[in-house]
Amino acid sequence: MAKKTPNNPQSAAPKGGETHQQASGNGNILTTNQGLPISDNQNSLRAGGRGPTLLEDFILREKITHFDHERIPERIVHARGSAAHGYFQPYKSMAHVTRAAFLADPQVKTPVFVRFSTVAGGAGSVDLPRDVRGFAVKFYTQEGNFDLVGNNIPVFFIQDAIKFPDLIHAVKMEPDRGYPQAATAHDTFWDFVSLMPESLHMVMWAMSDRTIPRSFRMMEGFGVNTFRLVNEAGDWKFVKFHWRPVLGTSAVAWDEAVKISGADPDFHRRDLFEAIDKGSYPEFELGLQILDQKMADQLAFDILDATKVVPEEIVPLEMVGKLVLDRNPDNFFAETEQVAFCPSHVVPGIDFSEDPLLQGRLFSYLDTQLIRLGSPNFHELPINRPKCPFANFQRDGHMQMLVPKGRVSYEPNSLDPDGPRETPLGLRTAAVPVEGTKVRLRAESFADHYSQARLFYRSVTPQEQKHMASALTFELSKVDVPEIRRRILGHLDIIDERLGSQVADALGMSGEAEKMTPAKAPIDLEPSPALRLYGKYKPTLKGRKVGVLLAPGFDVALKNGLVEAIEKEEATAAIIAPRVGGVEDSAGTKHAAEMALSGSPSVLFDAVTVLSGPAGDKALTANPDAVTFLMDALRHLKAIALSGVPGLMKKAQVGGEVGVVELTGAKDVAAFIEFARNGRVWEREPAA
């Protein structure tokens, strides 16, 4: 009898304990769950290379259905989230481009519920892994709910939704060991992306500081996919959705992210809740990139490709309204956990494009809610229920919470003349001609995988480039298989030779990059400064938190002036002391503290100050927590203000650097505030 091997799986009958592959009887042939061999696992079935995805694609539906139902009840992705209630108000009427009522009247405030999240980690993971952040907005409009389900990065790893289960399986914990949690620094993720060049643009964003944001309140949001706006006349245009934080964008340093995760794993969740709780409401502006088919045809890439951005220098943002978050959830489970977002939830005036990633999302999200919330009646949960009237003839089902009356549950009917009927005012799909042969095919216009990765890298600041190289080095250092590292280095060489060389040198693998041949030769696009994280927004200290460490004998007048200046900037002055019970000033008056030094490292603050007298300085100098507090603040490029701590400064080797201010009076306080407004003191970190 033939020896049973992976290449000869039919040599023995299936037995208990055999792998799925062995039991399937198809060996190394990829099949459906019914054993049907699959000829193309890269592309959904659609009407022509750029046409819409077809409902008959049972392979896509089986794959995504199985994926959507893998976890109960936690979300498979975006499991760890934080949310808030608020409202959206347009600046002007956009009726010339869309029928959407919530964009028509500047006097109308539309209620919203917004959920921010990480992607890869479970609900119990930390807030600050290197990860994409979800940015999902549910508009409770007068025409029904509109869910704008996006991320804090404008592109995605894949072009076709059929690859989504593969992507997430690769980035999640490795199935044989159950780790790492909420991390991309492992073999399966980098193996996948090294074999999927379409992922490279997103990889560059993922390795940037965008994936370790300072706060949900200080990150941008994007709709990612291309949608359509349709006006009353039926005319349509393509649209890309953007959210811009009024406070500007900000990120932590990687070393900060690691330390924050240990000091406060709920850092983002706490920041959002506390900001709203004290009335410092997060605000975002909605920007639209609107372009017609003619302009889309002139782009150097395909508007339907979710791995590409439309540079703002080509299609500027039109700011159309403001989102304000002004109320925390009353119950985390009932609202934040049970809220259900679906890209298919649109209103008249908003329509879909043929983007193959979006086409798959239209199926996947609804399917996910069915298993996660257990019923097609999830829309009846208070957090999901429309705030406008809704009525139809759908009945019964698990967890039905309404009590429909009458004998009629169908349409058309003559027995209930006052029942719901279709209306010409309802959703009208854009009249877009569709013609094509049924194929599993990626359009040639999707073939350029390197040009925009290069565009992003060459558009950001030198500091951001440096951090990306460091992130790539860290991540690839965690990859055990050398061949995977070599493939990634080969891709980096195509994106930017200097970047590839930097990472290879840092890994000790100079000259080992695998030679890669692009499917389509990359081109050099004009840099887009709008893609930068830093330097785009007006400097501000508003919404930030300044750590004020007090030690015995501090000057109370100096402390009061400093706190007043911080609060004048609409920032928070957090009072820290060696002991949480408080500390005495130079006159012997005791001042309460909000937190103890041992549990309040400087990574939790945007800028820091230390005020003390001689006795306090001696105690701080002997306190490792105080020394680390100051050393880390210097390392993380924070503005620092000091008074009465010569011993601590000497021990921590701090003094004389740019952004370190020794306080003697109001003039010095003003200088400190100026440094703090700028966020980090980049002069302390060389770009190269």
The residues assigned a catalytic role are: 78, 151
Question: Do residues 121 and 78 touch, judged by C-beta distance below 8 A?
Answer: no
- For residue 635, count other CB atoms closer than 10 A to its CB: 17
Quote the CA–CA distance of 567 and 319 in Å, as a whole number: 30
Quote the CA–CA distance of 352 and 306 in Å, as a whole number: 13
Name residue 607's amino acid. A
**Facing residues of 438 across strands?**
47
Peptide bond into 282 cis (omega under 30): no
Question: Do residues 222 and 153 touch, judged by C-beta distance below 8 A?
Answer: yes
**Facing residues of 149 across strands?**
136
Q: CA nearest 612: which of 601, 626, 599?
A: 626
Quote the CA–CA distance of 207 and 200 in Å, as a whole number: 10
Q: CA nearest 165: which of 69, 239, 306, 285?
A: 69
Quote the CA–CA distance of 432 and 226 in Å, as a whole number: 15
Which two structure tokens, joined as six digits, stand for 666? 């109001």
Quote the strand ranges of 528-683, DSSP E: 545-550, 572-577, 583-584, 590-591, 595-596, 607-611, 640-643, 660-662
**Facing residues of 318 across strands?**
288
Which two structure tokens, joined as six digits, stand for 667? 């003039």
Question: What DSSP state is assigned to residue 113?
Answer: E
The dihedral over CA atoms of 265, 269, 271, 272, expressed in degrees to the nearest 10, equals: 170
Give SS3 for 643. Answer: strand
Which two structure tokens, joined as six digits, stand for 310? 């439309």
Question: Do residues 72 and 56 touch, judged by C-beta distance below 8 A?
Answer: no
Quote the CA–CA distance of 47 and 45 in Å, as a whole number: 7
Give SS3 for 184. Answer: coil
- For residue 430, count other CB atoms closer than 10 A to its CB: 15
End-to-end distance of the chain based on CA atoms, in angstroms?
A: 64
Name residue 507's amino acid. L
Quote the CA–CA distance of 155 and 35 in Å, as a whole number: 34
Which two structure tokens, joined as six digits, stand for 124? 């119990």
Quote the CA–CA distance of 147 and 141 in Å, as a whole number: 10
- For residue 316, count other CB atoms closer than 10 A to its CB: 13
Question: Do residues 507 and 477 touch, judged by C-beta distance below 8 A?
Answer: yes
Question: Do residues 245 and 114 touch, judged by C-beta distance below 8 A?
Answer: no
Q: CA nearest 160: which of 519, 368, 442?
A: 442
Query: Tokens 């990480």 label which residue?
Result: 118
345-380 b/e (C-beta count within 10 Å ≥ 16 → b): bbbbbbbbbbbbbbbbbbbbbbbbbbbbbebbbbbe
Quote the CA–CA distance of 217 and 379 in Å, as a whole number: 28
Quote the CA–CA distance of 281 and 618 in Å, as a whole number: 41
